């Protein structure tokens, strides 16, 4: 009975928050219908897991609003052959969406407690195409570069050059850029000459990316 309740909650979330806002890519929709978002929040927040806002996950971090997760995933245009780098594992929910869409996901989290909890949940859910690391996201994961797609789930003041260097030509990065007052969610494409081509997707609010 509870499983049916959660599935109905996901259906409502997908229809009202995602499809009604213009995201209709089948792979993205299927991933959001499949993944139990309530598994990625604590028990006290379970009842709010499918609502239209971010939730705290501890350590000053949040699980993003479902629409923003969908928008970022959709903008990347991920294919089943792609290798994706995620900066900021957080709750692990975005990594699960990526794992449904891509061939391999490489995710980095600087806070060990979040890293271990996300890894535990993702492994319990059966994801075997995700690679995990504790570290500084600004540095990327050079050993496995170049990546087809990069997603950054924290706000940087400017595009991290090391991450851009670790993208394939025609690779895509989605990243929030700005400061504590104004943040823009940006799609950055690496053109055939190796230069960034930028597109503003929307205004947003993310926690700050820390370079340490």
Half-sphere exposure of 15 (CA within 13 A, CB side): 6
What letter would DSSP give residue 156?
B
Catalytic status, residue 64: yes
All residues at 6 or more sequence positions from 88 whose CB lies less than 8 Å from its CB, including other chains: 108, 109, 137, 152, 153, 154, 209
- Other C-beta atoms closer than 10 Å to the C-beta of 64 total 24
The alpha carbon of residue 102 and the mean position of all alpha carbons in its chain are separated, in whole angstroms, by 12
Alpha carbon distance 134, 89 (integer Å): 9
Closest to 15 (Cα-Cα) out of 41, 50, 54, 48:
50
Q: Which of 9, 45, 64, 208 is catalytic?
A: 64
All residues at 6 or more sequence positions from 109 whose CB lies less than 8 Å from its CB, including other chains: 88, 89, 90, 115, 118, 132, 133, 134, 137
Contact 171, 146 (CB under 8 A): yes
Structure tokens of 12? 């409502």
The residues annotated with a catalytic role in the active site are: 64
């Amino acid at each position: 009975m509870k499983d049916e309740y959660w599935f109905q909650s996901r259906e409502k979330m997908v229809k009202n928050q995602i499809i009604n806002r213009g995201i209709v890519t089948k792979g993205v929709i299927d991933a959001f219908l499949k993944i139990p978002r309530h598994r990625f929040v604590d028990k006290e927040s379970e009842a709010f897991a499918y609502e239209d806002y971010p939730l705290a996950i501890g350590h000053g971090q949040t699980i993003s609003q479902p629409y923003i997760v969908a928008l970022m995933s959709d903008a990347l245009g991920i294919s089943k052959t792609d290798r994706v780098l995620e900066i900021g594992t957080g709750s692990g929910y975005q990594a699960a969406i990526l794992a449904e869409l891509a061939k391999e996901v490489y995710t980095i989290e600087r806070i060990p407690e979040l890293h271990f909890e996300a890894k535990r949940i993702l492994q319990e859910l059966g994801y075997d195409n995700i690679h995990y690391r504790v570290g500084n996201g600004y540095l990327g994961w050079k050993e496995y570069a170049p990546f087809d797609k990069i997603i950054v789930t924290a706000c940087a003041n400017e595009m991290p050059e090391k991450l851009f260097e670790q993208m394939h030509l025609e690779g895509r990065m989605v990243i929030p850029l700005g400061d504590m007052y104004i943040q823009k969610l940006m799609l950055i494409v690496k053109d055939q000459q190796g230069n960034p081509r930028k597109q503003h997707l929307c205004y947003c609010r993310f926690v700050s990316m820390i370079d340490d």
